[in-house]
């Protein structure tokens, strides 16, 4: 799997949805994302649906469909998305003193 690169808006969307795969209505997602305009939100969602990172039921065709569409993180990408947002810290290598 290739490395996932997300911008700030996409990170906000993923964090708002959570990694569990539970569907969230678009009207609730708009409230959780905050200061993002409806056009920007719809564009980011369309991009992530196209890439397969999230699913939309029914399909998001236009900004006016945003409130009536449910979104969920694709559980197949959940771990990779979580690592892209919060990379795991490298373990501390202990050196033995002599």
Tens-digit pLDDT profile for residues 45-85: 999 999 999 999 988 888 888 989 999 999 999 999 999 89
What stretch of H or E contains 25? Answer: strand 24-25
pLDDT at 60: 87
26 occurs within a structural domain? yes
Q: What is the DSSP string of 29-55?
A: HHHHH-S--HHHHHHHHHHHHHHTSEE
Structural domains in the chain (count):
1
Say if 50 falls within a structural domain.
yes
Q: Which domain holds residue 54?
A: 8-84
Report yes or no: 71 and 26 within 8 Å, Cβ to Cβ. yes
pLDDT of residue 1: 52
Q: What integer pLDDT is reported at residue 91 of this predicted model?
A: 79
Residue 17 clears pLDDT 70, i.e. is over it = yes
CATH code of the domain covering residue 62: 1.10.10
pLDDT digits 0-9 by tens, 74-88: 999 999 999 989 887
Is residue 80 situated within a structural domain? yes
| pLDDT tier at 3, thresholds 50, 70, 90 | confident
By the 8 A CB rule, do 56 and 70 touch? Answer: yes
- The residue assigned the tokens 């990170």 is 11
93 belongs to a structural domain: no
| C-alpha–C-alpha distance, residues 57 and 91, integer Å | 40
pLDDT at 2: 63
- Give the up-direction half-sphere exposure of residue 77: CA atoms within 13 A in the CB hemisphere: 20
At residue 97 the predicted structure's pLDDT band, cuts being 50, 70 and 90, is confident
Torsion of CA 64, 8, 12, 77, to 10 degrees: 100
């Amino acid at each position: 799997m290739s490395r996932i690169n997300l911008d700030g808006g996409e990170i906000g969307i993923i964090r708002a949805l959570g990694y569990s795969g539970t569907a969230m209505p678009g009207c609730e997602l708009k409230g959780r994302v905050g200061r993002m305009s409806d056009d920007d939100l719809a564009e980011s969602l369309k991009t992530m649906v196209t890439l397969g990172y999230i699913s939309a039921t029914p399909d998001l065709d236009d900004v006016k469909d945003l409130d009536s569409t449910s979104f969920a993180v694709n559980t197949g990408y959940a771990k990779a998305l979580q690592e892209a947002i919060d990379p795991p810290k490298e373990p501390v290598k202990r050196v033995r003193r002599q």
